[in-house]
Amino acid sequence: MKKLQIIIIAFLFSLSICAPSSTQVKAQGMNQPTITVIQTANGVIAPGTSTVNYGSSQGFSITPDAGFSIASLTVDGSAVTSLNPDQTLDLSSYVFSNVTVDHTITATFAPLPAAMPSPTPTSTASATPTLTPTSTPALTSNSTSTPKPTGSATNTPKPGQTAALASMGQFLPVIAAVIILGAVLTGLFIKRRNRHPNIIVLN
């Protein structure tokens, strides 16, 4: 009986010695490639360094910090320049497909260009118009001026004076006749005196 126990223990021990370890099993056929992520400043690649199953796929997202953009994406030492179907280059993500060997991925980030400040409109004060006095041009020899009346001005008689002049006009013939008569008599008297110098005239 003791011999049988010894034989069983020896058999189990031999099996434990001959059985491959888990590391040996992975090395013999269950390989797990590693994708190494090299992080840089001003951004992050997520997830970080990862170990994936043989033949599987692994995706990564590249996110810049605020105020930065993705400048470049490098996979296994080569820059990613392949375009999307819409002819755009999207560096914000990358997928490793059918991974059978180790890979590396890294990215660089650059600051965004500073936004140009919008110009602040400045109010322009309206110029106050200056009033320029208009000078009156001096009259020259060619200027036409209204001639002033010459001679004595004719006074317009007042209503009372008009009536007096009208009444005097009625006596003008009488006055003229008296003057003429006086002149005739004076002439006759002078002739007579010359003929008769002794006539004494009484004053």
pLDDT tens-digit map of 31-70: 899 999 999 999 999 999 999 999 999 999 999 999 999 9
pLDDT in tens, 91-150: 999 999 999 999 999 999 999 998 777 777 776 666 666 666 666 655 555 555 555 555
Backbone angles phi, psi at 194, to 5 degrees: -65, -30
| Exposure string over 111-132, b if 16+ CB within 10 A, otherwise e | eeeeeeeeeeeeeeeeeeeeee
Looking at CATH, the fold of the domain delimited by 31-111 is given as: Immunoglobulin-like (2.60.40)
- Structural domain boundaries in the chain: 31-111, 163-203
In angstroms, the CA 181 to CA 168 distance is 20
Whether residue 24 is predicted with pLDDT greater than 50 in this model: the reply is: no
Would you state the structure tokens that stand for residue 183, as one six-digit string? Answer: 């002149």
pTM of the model: 0.44
Taking all residues of the chain, what is their mean pLDDT, rounded to a whole number?
A: 76
Say what the pLDDT of residue 28 is.
41
Cβ atoms of 81 and 14 within 8 Å: the answer is: no
In angstroms, the CA 196 to CA 21 distance is 205
- pLDDT over 90 for what percent of the chain? 35
